[in-house]
Structure 1
């Protein structure tokens, strides 16, 4: 039997600061980590998950010494996981509020990853922040804060409810996403974000929108390789079903992994 798909997952980054740093030990260091639910979601598709560490100039080696092309050559696909806000500077803006300044270091690292995997023709899947990163990497922009810049009756972030915050989504007919869910026109998804796609990046198509506010929930690249981004978190919804109409993330994962195996072939 052929080996299972080997999937790279971008690292989330923890930067030490007070009062957390007062705990001492490992919390005084910059940490790269992989959220367990994302890893288990990928593993659930009978794939192997590998976290790709970030390298910045303040580390022990220079970014110029890191060959992302080697990662793209050996791995079958890339998953951009969720996490901190994208820095407005990454799409040509300045933060409207200090707390929306985002993570510029991670942005640079993931944009480099994205561009390298796309150049190698390897499939890329973005979750939440990963969806926004795909849009920004292709020249798009974001709403820095939905309630401020795109007021809506739909609540996209509830910190206390976190992954149990849900709303309705409409799948755009005739898209690849609609083919993965035949007969499904609307579905329930979770929502853990206050940023969202504003201006669409180059050669991207919207495949789903939130209901009833119309905010972008899924995008796909029209280029020569597989690139798909979704605003919701299928790895959280895979753990339990809270709504009868909750969208099953298995077709998305299977489609992505199938694309990885086709590209390997």
Structure 2
């Protein structure tokens, strides 16, 4: 695929991950940081888009201007979603999530839908979509789902994987050109009750929901639990046109069609 000229690239807004003030952190002691995981930005660029980081500037107007100027919204991975947003208390303190980042990303999601921007969520991003549309999550899969697979292993991280079965008539199946995938798995939380209008389009062998989507003339939303940006071909010696890259190309195609 020939590289698009810069002004032709769809602008993909990526709300920043937040690192809050920490007086014990050796770098930027006591300062709040905002960042994007590099492979996510590279995935957008290599697929033909321009990644644009959306910053949390503590004002809704700033988020709206940023979202309105982009052709799509991409929600990246990271911290747990605060269970209070779906009417629960944390079963353990470490599952309390990041309520500040949640509110920032819920605003971005709401505004993207209001402006009819295609929304693609990865891992935490899929969970933000689900909770933002009124759904709920398993706070911890292995604690709450009997017989579930191990979906996250800190020591093996993106090396751990499992199969995923896709609904044949879904956008996800078309984007990956398959009804069965072997995916990485780096999440300990997952969709429990799907949000309003969301269709379940992929499950792991243990029944855990791995992808949701809602595609109409009025809105375009897809969320996947795995990390396609980490399946970019670099694991086999370079940025080849891997299935992960094909999926980002398909998403950018949607952004081009709808902008």
Cα separation, 1, equivalents of 2:48 and 2:173: 24
The one of 193, 203, 206 aligned to 1:209: 203
Question: Does residue 16 of the first structure (1) align with residue 21 of the second (2)?
Answer: yes
Name the SS of the counterpart of 1:27 in structure 2: coil
Name the SS of the counterpart of 2:199 in structure 1: strand
Cα separation, 2, equivalents of 1:144 and 1:253: 28
The one of 81, 86, 111 aligned to 1:91: 86
Cα separation, 1, equivalents of 2:248 and 2:12: 12
Cα separation, 2, equivalents of 1:234 and 1:181: 10
**TM-score (norm. length: structure 2):** 0.90
Q: For the structure 1 residues 160 and 126, does the alpha-carbon distance in structure 2 shift closer, same or farther, using more than 3 Å as the test?
A: same
Q: Give CA-to-partner distance per residue, 1:71-96, whole Å, 9 cap, x none.
A: 22211111000000000011111111
Name the SS of the counterpart of 1:256 in structure 2: helix
Per the alignment, residue 72 of structure 2 pairs with: 77
Map of 1:179-218 to 2, 5 A cutoff?
Answer: 179-182=174-177, 184-211=178-205, 213-218=206-211
Structure 1: 4+ residue segments shifted above 4 A: none
Q: For the structure 1 residues 67 and 54, does the alpha-carbon distance in structure 2 shift closer, same or farther, using more than 3 Å as the test?
A: closer
The answer as to whether partners of 1:55 and 1:109 remain within 8 angstroms in 2 is no
Gaps of 5+ in 1: 57-62
Name the SS of the counterpart of 1:67 in structure 2: helix
Per the alignment, residue 59 of structure 1 pairs with: none
Cα separation, 2, equivalents of 1:18 and 1:95: 25
Question: Does residue 178 of the first structure (1) align with residue 173 of the second (2)?
Answer: yes
Question: Does residue 127 of the first structure (1) align with residue 132 of the second (2)?
Answer: no
The answer as to whether partners of 1:204 and 1:221 remain within 8 angstroms in 2 is yes
Map of 1:43-192 to 2, 5 A cutoff?
Answer: 43-56=45-58, 63-64=59-60, 66-182=61-177, 184-192=178-186
Q: Give CA-to-partner distance per residue, 1:205-264, whole Å, 9 cap, x none.
A: 1111111x011111101442211100000111213259xxxx812332122111111122
How many residue pairs get aligned? The number is 248
Gaps of 5+ in 2: none
Deviates more, 1:173-182 or 1:147-156: 173-182
Question: Does residue 5 of the first structure (1) align with residue 4 of the second (2)?
Answer: no
**TM-score (norm. length: structure 1):** 0.88
Per the alignment, residue 34 of structure 1 pairs with: 36
Q: CA deviation at 1:55?
A: 2.9
The answer as to whether partners of 2:201 and 2:212 remain within 8 angstroms in 1 is yes
Over aligned residues, Cα RMSD in angstroms? 1.8
